[in-house]
Structure 1
C-alpha cells in the first residue's frame, strides 16, 4: 500500500536574513499546506536545503513539522547521505521525533557499486522501523537507479516506493512494472506527473506544491478518479510556471516564489543565493499570469 496517494510537497525551509531557520514561518507554511489539502509533507528534502542544515537543525526542522502536522497528513523526512553511518543517524533521529516515512536519496559523490548500494540501503533499513522511499535523481547525485537496481532494492523489507526524478520516461515505464500493493511509484518531476500516473504511479513529490498545493493535489485526485480532461488541463496550465520554477537550480526559484507570496523571506544559505534578476522577473511574470500575484 502506498504511504500516501496524491501530492506530497517537498517543503522549502524558510530562513531569516541572517541564515537562521525561521521556525515561526515554517509553522505557518505547514499549517497552510495542511489546510490546502496536501497529501504529505517532505521535510528536509533537496527543496528544503537539507544539505546546508547541520544535524541539530535538520532534526529540529523535521520535529517542528511533525508537531505542527499533528497526525493530519504523513510527514516524510529526508535523511539521505553519502555517509551510511550519517544516514543511519538521521534515520534514527527522524524516527525518534515522530516522522512517518523516510526519503533516502542515493549516496552522492561516492559512486557506489550496485552491491555496495544495496548494502547501504540494507544498513539503513536494519536501523529503523520506518518505511523508506528511495530517491533517484542522477542529475544531483551522479547515480541512477535503473530497473535492475530498483528490483533488487525493492526486496529490502522497509522499502515501499521510489521518488523517480530521472526524467527518462522509458525508465519510468520499466520501473512501473515493479509497482504492486507493497511498492509505490512517485514522480519527482512536476512536468511529468500525468505520464507517471498513467503507468500506475501513486502521485508526486512536488516542488510546485509549495505555491499551488490545493490545485496539484486536486490534479492527481482528478486523474485517479478518471477525470482525465480536468487533470490534463491543470498539468498543461502549470507547465509555463514549472519552467520558471526550474530556470535555475531548485530550490532557488521556488523559494523566491514562496517569498513573493509573502510566506517566507528571500534568504538562502551559500552556496545557494537569490536568483538572477532575469529569473526573478520570469518567475514574477508567470505567477502573475497564473493569478497568484
Structure 2
C-alpha cells in the first residue's frame, strides 16, 4: 500500500488489561472509531504507544491486529526508537516482514549523536529496508535537531519521504519547503500547533488527542485544507485545552484518561508509568469534562473536497 503522507495519522495508544497484557479488543475498538472518523494512516509503538515498554512480540501482535482491523484501507506504520543502529535495522526489517506499510524513525535514543552520526544512522536504516520512512524531528524531547543541511544529505535516500515536524518552530516548515519543495512531505507533530502547521503548508498531522477525539481532529484537518479557516479555527480554539495535555511529561496518562471519558480506552499504563493521581488527576479531569460540556457540533466534514 502506498503511503501518501497526507491526512491525520494517530500516534495510537497501546491498550493494556488490568493484568498488564495487550487489550486487543479495546485497541481494535478505538481503531474502528479512528477509521470511521476518517484518519488516513496509523502509527503504532510511538511515544504515546509506550514504545520503550513493548516487547518484540507485542509489536508484532499490534501490527497484525492493526492490519486485520484496517484491512487495505489505510497504511500502518511502526515507530522505530532504538539505542543502536543494529537494533533499529532489526526492528525495521521485522516491521517489513510482518506487513507494516512504513516506518516513523527517531534519532538514536539516549546517546546525543552528532549531526554526522545521526545522518549515518538514518541512512543505514533506510538502506536496510524498502519501507517508506518518516523522520521524527523533535529536538525538544529527544535533544537532536534534524537540520536543513542534514536533510540535504538524506534526500539521496528515496525511501526517506516525510518529516514529523515537532521542533515547535513553525517557521521550520517554510524553510524545508523553500529548500526542498515537495521532496519531503511534512506532517505537523504538535497538537497545540496543528492548525498553524497546516496553514504553513504541512501535508498532514501526526496527532495525540485524536486518540480520544478523532472526529474533531480530522474535521480541523479537512476544513483547514479546504480553506474553511474560520470553521477550523472555531473547533481548534475549543480543542486547545485538550491539546495542551499532549505537551506534558505525562501525556500518555493524560490522553488515556481522555479516552476513558470518550468511551474508547482505559487508563491502564505500563510501569514505571502509573495512573494519574491527586491534584494533577483532578486538573486533567476538569479539562476533559469542561471540554465535553462544550463539545462543538461538527459540520459535515467527511465529504469535504481538499484543495490541491
CA distance in 2, matches of 1:203, 1:241: 19
- For 1:72, the equivalent position in structure 2 comes to 73
Contact 2:5 2:187 in 1 (8 A): no
After superposition, give the CA deviation of every residue in 1:89-146 in whole Å (9 maximum; x if it has no partner).
1111111222111000111211112222111111111111110000012233221112
Q: Which moved more, 1:238-247 or 1:24-33?
A: 238-247
After superposition, give the CA deviation of every residue in 1:16-55 in whole Å (9 maximum; x if it has no partner).
1221111111111111211121121111111000110011
- For 2:279, the equivalent position in structure 1 comes to 278
- For 2:197, the equivalent position in structure 1 comes to 196
Partner SS, residue 111 of structure 2: coil
**Displaced runs of 4 or more, over 6 A:** none
Q: Which moved more, 1:207-216 or 1:111-120?
A: 111-120
Contact 1:79 1:90 in 2 (8 A): yes
| Counterparts in 2 of 1:7 and 1:145: CA distance versus 1, 3 Å | same
Contact 1:176 1:201 in 2 (8 A): no
Structure 1: gaps spanning 5 or more residues: none
- For 1:262, the equivalent position in structure 2 comes to 263
Contact 1:11 1:42 in 2 (8 A): yes
- For 2:242, the equivalent position in structure 1 comes to 241
- For 1:126, the equivalent position in structure 2 comes to 127
1:271 to partner: Cα distance: 2.0
After superposition, give the CA deviation of every residue in 1:213-263 in whole Å (9 maximum; x if it has no partner).
112112111111111111111221111111244444321210121123333
After superposition, give the CA deviation of every residue in 1:65-100 in whole Å (9 maximum; x if it has no partner).
122111111212112312111111111111122211
RMSD: 1.9
- For 2:115, the equivalent position in structure 1 comes to 114
Contact 2:189 2:205 in 1 (8 A): yes
1:193 to partner: Cα distance: 1.4
CA distance in 2, matches of 1:183, 1:166: 16
CA distance in 1, matches of 2:134, 2:203: 13
CA distance in 1, matches of 2:3, 2:61: 26
1:284 to partner: Cα distance: 2.1
CA distance in 2, matches of 1:176, 1:279: 40
CA distance in 2, matches of 1:276, 1:174: 42
- For 1:96, the equivalent position in structure 2 comes to 97
Contact 1:138 1:144 in 2 (8 A): yes
Give me the TM-score of the superposition, normalised by structure 1. 0.93
- For 2:163, the equivalent position in structure 1 comes to 162
CA distance in 2, matches of 1:237, 1:179: 34
Partner SS, residue 107 of structure 1: coil
CA distance in 2, matches of 1:244, 1:111: 27
CA distance in 1, matches of 2:141, 2:45: 15
- For 1:43, the equivalent position in structure 2 comes to 44
Aligned length: 293
1:282 to partner: Cα distance: 2.3
After superposition, give the CA deviation of every residue in 1:163-184 in whole Å (9 maximum; x if it has no partner).
0112122334323324533411
Partner SS, residue 273 of structure 1: coil
